[in-house]
Amino acid sequence: QVQLVESGGGLVQPGGSLRLSCVGSGFTVSRTCIGWFRQAPGKQREGVGHIVPGSGVTIYADSVKGRFTISQDNARKTWYLQMNSLKPEDTAMYYCALDPDNSRCDLQARSYAFWGQGTQVTVSS
């Protein structure tokens, strides 16, 4: 049974940093794609970035490029989203998700079959 559990969210001031974690179980890392998404109230779920665990290749949305970084510890099936220079518009529920087919690996939520429960990030002074 695939499980993904996010943690690390919280309240941070504008310009601050947070690191989110996503711990996975119930699957093998090879041939998967791990995505990070966010959803603010009243808005559609937005792809933030993804990583192909086998190669470490990452892709980011333009809105976070240069500020957010995805990293991994494949042995522990743990993926991280380091968020720097946070802005109020980054406030959202953040989710990690798994696509069992890394041949497509994109930022479309519909491509991901498994999701964590989310962790809230609030950027406010």
Full pLDDT tens readout for the chain, 125 residues: 999 999 999 999 999 999 999 999 999 888 899 999 999 999 999 999 999 998 899 999 999 999 999 999 988 999 999 999 999 999 999 999 999 988 888 999 999 999 999 999 999 99
Question: Is residue 45 a contact partner of residue 58, using CB atoms and an 8 Å limit?
Answer: no
Identify the pLDDT of residue 32.
Answer: 92
Identify the pLDDT of residue 95.
Answer: 98
Identify the pLDDT of residue 48.
Answer: 98
Identify the pLDDT of residue 101.
Answer: 86
Identify the pLDDT of residue 29.
Answer: 86
Identify the pLDDT of residue 30.
Answer: 84
Identify the pLDDT of residue 94.
Answer: 98
Q: What is the DSSP string of the chain?
A: --EEEEE--EEE-TT--EEEEEEEESS-STT-EEEEEEE-TTS--EEEEEEETTTTEEEE-TTTTTTEEEEEEGGGTEEEEEE-S--GGG-EEEEEEEES-TTT--S-GGG--EE---EEEEE--
d(CA 33, CA 18): 22
